[in-house]
Structure formats: structure tokens, C-alpha cells
Amino acid sequence: MEYLLKSLDLYKKINDEESIAGCYQNLANVYADAKDLQTALSYYNKSYSLYKKYNNLQGISASLDNLGSITRDLGQLDSSLFYYYKARPVYEKLGDHLGIASNNINIGTTFLDLHKANEAISYCDKGLKLAKEIQAPEATNIACFCLSEAWKQKGDYKKAYEYYTLYISARDSLVNESRTKDITRREMQYKFDRKTVADSLKFESEKGIRDIKLKQEKNQRFVLYGGLILVIVFAAFMFNRFKVTKKQKQVIELQKELVEEKNKEITDSINYAKRLQDAILPPEKMWKQQLPNSFILYKPKDIVAGDFYWMEKISRLTPEVSQRSEIILIAAADCTGHGVPGAMVSVVCSNALNRSVKEFGITEPGKILDKVKELVIETFEKSESEVKDGMDISLVALEWNEQKTTFKMQWSGANNPLWYIRENKLIEITANKQPIGTHIGATNFTTHTITLNKGDQIFLFTDGYADQFGGPKGKKFKYKQLEELIVSAHTASANDQKKILEEAFSKWKGGLEQLDDVCIIGVRV
């Protein structure tokens, strides 16, 4: 601390701000070691501001990583994720593969602290893959431990044990490597000391018998021959390096072509998968025909998504009053994960919804969800490995007579609630706290029946919008703010409501990465 403060004073006198930033960074490290985390946080922020002023990418990435670590130690996990996400593009711009690997692992470890095992596994898998590619044993060690704990959170103790075994192996490898380096260092020091003593004795013994003239001639020959040999060796070395570099360049160009070709194949496959997933979504023409005063805000995180929306129309005759009524079933669903894995689960869950209604003839939302859960579990039980994926969902059945004078709504939900607005007041109906899928202590889903008035508006949604990080402090958007936004915009037309929600989401997210798929459905009866 004493020497750092002296250095800081000198750098300030010569106005060397980049070196001042380095001093702030080191002071923060000292305070962090002394467990004075708030003071450390203050110095890390000062360092980050100066590095950002001079666009020092190395300093920026180090400061952001340190800010992520210190806020995590302070228990400010949302802020920690904010700094880690902000560091990602800097590492990518630098081409720092170790930094990218460590950044993924840091994000995964923070999600583990938030008890979000799926996200922790997703990021730590990326970090572990890259750490293995660049042979980074310390990063490999941390990633394996995080994956072990994440699978333990999910209750998959077999996978947790597999990754714990990899963690122990990586840890032992680090210890052995450290010991080997220490032994080698000691052996080299011993040999060096012996040679130093031997050379000294030899020099002393020859010093008295050498003639000054012979010594000068010998030195001249040594310089001449040595210089010639060095020139020859250097020329041979440079020629060899030229050949090796040329060969390496050819190999790198070939590998680049192979990687680009493989990436194109993967992207083409995912784009085709998107076309297949789009086929399970109800067409916009059909949706607008059945529910003209409605909107769908659908923003997948990746090309394909784990979120999806669903619609089915049923006509039935009520014998007691000899009237035909129409039932429109709509849903907003959030399957486990996002990207390709989430999209595959969404196909299974969408198919289960279709079968429950068309094949089994069920129209009551709670009973539909019971049957969907049964079909999804039955599908995944066919796998030889244990699959615990499923979905959260909000499912509505809207029913009205031919004259559209009476409206009835039935609703059921798995983890995701329903909101509806009547006379400028938002009312929430809570869902069953269980997913569609395997769940300890599962019960039958509850069906809620509500009589709607003309002009009432209902909202179905997944958690992607409320969970998005952003804003001036990198916090989550949260449901309270979403509720206020929907209430303030509910008198606008459906298209304008969608536009307001889109603009608010984009402004909140800013330059940060979209965290999850987003799906919001609004319907005015």
C-alpha cells in the first residue's frame, strides 16, 4: 500500500493517467485481499473510467472482470452479471480466447449463485469447451466445479459426479504441474551454482599462466569465428522459420476455409430449423381473423426459440339452449432453454397441446395441461438418458355465443400468471407453481373461470421480458415495471401497444445481450 501510494503521487505529478489507472487497479486488489470490498469497488470504478477514457481495451476488460468479481463477493449478483456481459465484446475485440473462456465461466458461476442451473450449465459448457481448446487448466478446473454444482442443483447427481471427477482430475493436474516446475527450478539452480563455481576456479587457475598477448589473439579469433557462426546460424534459423511460417499459413488458411464451411452448414441447418418451427406457429392471417383486436410480441434470443405461441379454434353446440358457441384456445409457452435445444422441446410441447385438443377432445384449460404433462413425460421417458425438460405456460379458452353477446374465459397456468385489465385496473390470476414436466409433489392444474365484459383486455406472457438486464444500472426490468407499462398503454390500439412494448424493451436492453426469448400476447374482447 505504501509503495503504491508513492507511485500514484508521482504519476499524478507527471499527469500519466494510464499509469494512474494501473495504480488504482493495484490498490483495489490490495483492498480486496484485505476484505475491504467497498473501497476496492471504488478504486476499480476509478480505474475503469480512466481506461475507458483512453480506450485501453486490456485495461477495460480487466476492470470489468474485477468489477464483476467484487460485486459478486458483495452479493450484488445482478450487477455482477451486468459487468461480465459488458466485458464480453471487449474480449472478443481483443481476440483473447482465455478471457472469453473465463468470462463465460464467470457468468455461469454467477447464474449458479442465482440458482439458475440451466443458464449456469449453458455458459460453463461454452467456457469449458474453449478452455480445453486453448489448454487452460485453471479455467477448466473452475468450469468443471461449477458444472458439478449446477447439475447437483438440478438433481442430476450422476452428471454432477461426472463433472466433479473431472474437477478433481484437473485440480490434481494443476498441483502436479506446480510441483514439477518447482523441482525443475531447484535442479537448474543447483546446476547453475555448480557451473558458476567451476568456471570461477578454472578462470583463477588459468589467469596466472596466460600471456596477455595470447589472450588478446584468442579473443580476436573467438569474436571473428563466433560472429561468423552466429551469422550462419541466424541465416539458417531465419530460412527455416520462413519455411515453417509459410507452411503454417497454408494450414491456417485451410482450417479457416473448413471452419467457414462448417459454420455455413450449421447456420443453414438452424435457419431450416427455424422454418420448421415457424410452421408450428399459428399464421398471422388466422390469428388476426379470429382475434382482430390483439397483438403478439415475439422476439427469439437466437434464430430458433424455446418460447412459442399457440392457437386452436373449436365450435360446439350447447344442447340446453340449442346454441352454437365458439372456443378459441390461445397460449404463451416457455420451454426449457433457448436456441436449438429449446426449439426441440417446443416442438414436443406444441404437439402435445394439439393432441390433447384434437385427439382427446379436451377443452378445459386445466385438464388440457394435465394431459399435456402426461404426454410430454411419456415422450421423454422413452429416452435411455434422463430428460427433465418441460415448459411453463399460460393457457386461455375464450368462449362466446354466435351473437357475441356473452363472453366466458377459462384459464390455467404452469408457473406463468394471467393478467387482465378491467376499468383501468390490472388484475392477476396466479398459476400453479409447477412446470409441465417431471415435478416432485405435482398436482392437477386448476381451471379458473371468469365472465368477461366487452372491452376487457387479457395478457399472456413468458418471463423473458421481465428478466432482461439493462437500464442505467444493469438491473432486471422486472414484472412491476412491465405491469406499469402495460397499464399505461392499454387504451392504445393493439398495434400501438406492441410498438410501445418493443421500443421500451430495446431502450432498456441498450447494448447488452438479450438474455432469453420474449413472448407477450394481448387480446381485447
**Could you state, in order of their start, the residue ranges of all structural domains in the chain?**
2-179, 211-280, 282-524
Does pLDDT of 353 surpass 80?
Answer: yes
Q: In the 8-state DSSP scheme, what is residue 12? A: H
203 is written with which cell numbers? 578462470
> Which pLDDT score is estimated for 321?
46
pLDDT at 453: 87
- 2-179 has which fold? 1.25.40
* Alpha helix ranges (H) inside 208-306: 212-280, 284-290
Mean pLDDT is lowest, of 58-67, 116-125, 248-257, for 248-257
Q: What is the pLDDT of residues 34-57, one digit of tens each?
A: 999 999 999 999 999 999 989 999
**Phi, psi angle pair for 248, to nearest 5°:** -65, -40
Distances (CA, A) of 365 to 224, 226, 316, 483, 509: 95, 91, 16, 24, 34
Q: Could you give the percent of the chain with pLDDT greater than 90?
A: 58
- Per-residue confidence (pLDDT) for residue 257, from 0 to 100: 79
At 251 the pLDDT is 79
**Which element (helix H / strand E) includes 332?**
strand 323-335
Q: What is the mean pLDDT of residues 135-163?
A: 91
Summarize the confidence of residues 404-431 as an average pLDDT.
91
Stretch 336-357: mean pLDDT: 86
Residue 129 has pLDDT above 90, yes or no: yes
Q: DSSP character for 430?
A: P
pLDDT value at residue 98: 92
> Of 25-39, 149-163, 389-403, which range is least confident?
389-403
pLDDT digits (tens, 9 = 90+) for 268-311: 777 777 887 788 899 888 898 999 999 999 999 988 888 999 99
Round the average pLDDT of the chain to a whole number and report it: 86
Among all chains, which residue has been given the C-alpha cell 461426472?
162
Q: What average pLDDT does the segment 197-225 reach?
A: 64
**Band (325; pLDDT cuts 50, 70, 90):** confident
The whole-number average pLDDT for the span 340-369 is: 91
Residue 183 has a pLDDT of 46
Among the listed residues 288, 277, 269, the one whose alpha carbon sits nearest the alpha carbon of residue 335? 277
Q: What is the pLDDT of residues 355-369, one digit of tens each?
A: 999 999 999 999 999
Torsion angle of the four alpha carbons 113, 114, 120, 124, in this order, in degrees rounded to the nearest 10:
-40
Specify the CATH superfamily of domain 282-524: PPM-type phosphatase domain (3.60.40.10)
